[in-house]
Each structure stands twice: as C-alpha cells, then as structure tokens.
Amino acid sequence: MSLILLPFSEVAMVPLASVCKRPEISHIPDTLTTRRGHGYDIDFDNAEKSVLVDFRDKDFLAAVFCGDAARFVRATTHTIDGLHKELESGRTFPWALVKLYYAAYYSGHAILRAQGTSLSFLDGTNLRNIKELTFAAATQPDFQVKRGQHTFQLSNGSSGVSISNKGKSDGGVHEEFWHVLKENLATLGKTALSSDTVTQSEGQQIFSKLTDLEQVISGNGCNGGNWLSFVRNAVQYRHHYNSWPPSNLRARERRTLAQISALWKSDPMDIALDERASDLVRFTSAAVFLVAMLGRICGWMAEVSPEGRKCYLYSATRPA
C-alpha cells in the first residue's frame, strides 16, 4: 500500500467502499434537495450559516457521495488515458495541457467526495427545494441560502449532511475549489504526523510530500492553491509558455512532460514535486500526482470493500 493512503485510513471512507451497485442519481445537490417519501430531520447552524439535514440512512448518503465521486473518477480516467501521446505531439500539445489541468481538477473533486466532502453548485431549483425542506423545521434560519457554490459535508455518523457557503475565496468556482482542496491536503498532512497507524518517519514522509504539493499549487503568488488554474488560463487564453504553433516547445521538452504524464498509474510518493523545476514540469507533476493519488484511493477502497473490485468507485477507474 502506498504511504500516501495512510492518512486516508483515518477518514470515514469505508461506507463509500461498500457501494457496489450503480447509484440511480449521482449529482449531490439534485439528489439531496429532491428526496421525497423518506424521513429526515432538519436543523440550522446560524453561526456557521449551515443547513443540517439528517436522512437517517447511512447507505443512502454513501451511495450519493459514491455516485458523485465516481462520475469524476470516470472523467479523470477518460481525460488522462493516452494523454502522454498528445503532449508529445506539437500539434496537439496546447490542448493536451488544458486536458491535463482538467484531469487534476476532476481528480481533486473525486478525492474530496471520497472523504465525504463535495463542493457543488446550488441553482435556483435546488434553492426552491431547500426552502420546501425548511418548512418542516420547527425553527427557521437567521440566514438566507443563496445561489452559488456550497460545501456539502457528511456528518452525524454519515447519515446526515451539512450544506454551507463560507465564502473562503474571492475568486470563481475553480479558485474556491482549489482553496478547499489545499486546506484538505494540509489537514491530511497533519493527520499523518499525529497518526498512531504510521511510524514517525512515515508520517514525516507523507507530510513532506503533501507539503511539496501544497507549495507547487500555491506558486507564483497563488496563495489559495489555484496555480494550476493560473497556468491553464495562461495556456488557454493568453497562449503563453510557447505552447501554441508556430512557437512550439522543443520536442525534447514535450517528451519530458509526456513521460511525467505517463506516471498517472504509479505510486504518487514516487512522483517528484520540485519547486526548482520549470513551470510546465511542475504543472504536469502536480496534476499527475493528484490523478495517481485518486487511483490509489480507489484501489484501497477495493481492498477494504466486502465486494472487492466490484466496489463501484474502483470500477469507475477502468477506461471506457
């Protein structure tokens, strides 16, 4: 087992590993705000501006989060599989960099959902459904749930979920996501240091690796952890990094990036995250690290699942 998985053993991911059948609905906001015919308890945390809904059913929520995580796992695998060939070709290189970003972005979303955290968008329909749910509450909230991105967090022994918008980032959807993921990585690193399930040396190795990743994604003044998004925008919209014809990178440089991207099935602990490397090497290494970490998480779930590789989240890693 990869060392990177050890802090995850402290996180309640096992309920998701027990899901083997394909969930009927997999989009968290739609599913959780439209459930009818089932009992639930609803409360509010006015200090945190959170809606707290307990569905009294751990299996239901496990299936919801697993289904939503699985769609991001499938998107990751579909995006990264064979991408090294596109990175090596000057003709397909620029769009391959954009695809590599989205492989990392999808991976991060799946990693969060596997831990019971989802950053999801509430639209007008979702808000109307939440308002209907609140009619059943004995008290009403002192705050208004607004349209936009919210954090859905499993709680109450995984039978309940909290819905909140804490506004941690002043940027857009991608900036907010990277901010949340960066905080999650920091928490995992600290968990590794204090865990009784690893040696002090192992805990330090995990902490150092996750700290290296945090430093890369926070580079160039992107303190919120959104540097990968910054590079993607520079490539896609400003055509920087000599990524577009006729100013292509040299074949040798593209080949180096292609070789790194081919490591997406390897142990993330073996992927170098060097702050001194070029921007595109750091970009590629960090993106592939996240994809590789997701792959190991899905593999670990198959190991702890009573159904083994029939675990739905693991089955989503297979290329179409």
What burial class does residue 282 get, using C-beta atoms within 10 Å of its C-beta: 0-12 exposed, 13-18 middle, 19+ buried? buried
The sign one gets for the Cα dihedral 280, 281, 284, 286 is: negative
Average pLDDT score over residue span 17-32: 71
What is the value of pTM for the model shown?
0.92
Least confident piece of the model among 7-16, 45-54, 155-164, 227-236: 7-16
Q: Find the mean pLDDT for residues 291-303.
A: 90
Confidence category of residue 275, pLDDT binned at 50, 70, 90:
confident
Q: Tell me: pLDDT of 151 over 60.
A: yes
- Tell me, letter by letter, the H, E, C secondary structure of the chain: CCHHHHHHHHCCCHHHHCCCCCCCCCCHHHHHHHCCCCCCEEEEECCCCEEEEECCCHHHHHHHHHHHHHHHHHHHHHHHCCHHHHHHCCCCHHHHHHHHHHHHHHHHHHHHHHCCEEEEEECHHHHHHHHHHHCCCCCCCCCCCCCEEEEEEEEHHHCEEEEECCCCCCCCHHHHHHHHHHHHHHHHHHHHHHCCCCCHHHHHHHHHHHHHHHHHHCCCCCCCCCHHHHHHHHHHCCCCCCCCCCCCCCHHHHHHHHHHHCCCCCCHHHCCCCCCCCHHHHHHHHHHHHHHHHHHHHHHHHHHCCCHHHCHHHHCCCCC
Q: Could you tell me which residue, 81 or 130, shows the higher pLDDT?
A: 81
Q: Considering only CA atoms, which of 140, 222, 212, 224 is closest in space to residue 182?
A: 224
The pLDDT of residue 105 is: 98
pLDDT level of residue 136 (50, 70, 90 thresholds): low
Tokens at residue 306, please? 């009573």
* Rounded-to-integer distance, Cα 264 and Cα 280, Å: 16
Residues 129-138, mean pLDDT to the nearest whole number: 76
Please compute the mean of the pLDDT values over residues 139-162 and round it to a whole number: 84
Q: What is the mean pLDDT of the chain?
A: 87
What pLDDT sits at residue 97?
98
Structure confidence by residue, pLDDT tens digits, 95-117:
999 999 999 999 999 999 988 89
pLDDT of res. 3: 80
Calculate mean pLDDT across residues 205-216: 96
What pLDDT is stored for residue 242 in this prediction?
92
User: Which range, of 20-24, 79-83, 209-213, averages the lowest pLDDT?
Assistant: 20-24
The pLDDT of residue 38 is: 62
The model's pLDDT over 57-92, given as tens digits with 9 standing for 90+, comes to: 888 888 888 888 889 999 999 999 999 999 999 999
Q: Look at the block and give the residue holding tokens 């996240």.
A: 290
Residue 57 pLDDT: 82
Give the confidence band of 179 by pLDDT, cuts at 50, 70, 90.
very high
Confidence label for 158 from pLDDT (cuts 50, 70 and 90): confident
Residue 36 has pLDDT above 70, yes or no: no
Residues 269-283 have a mean pLDDT of: 95
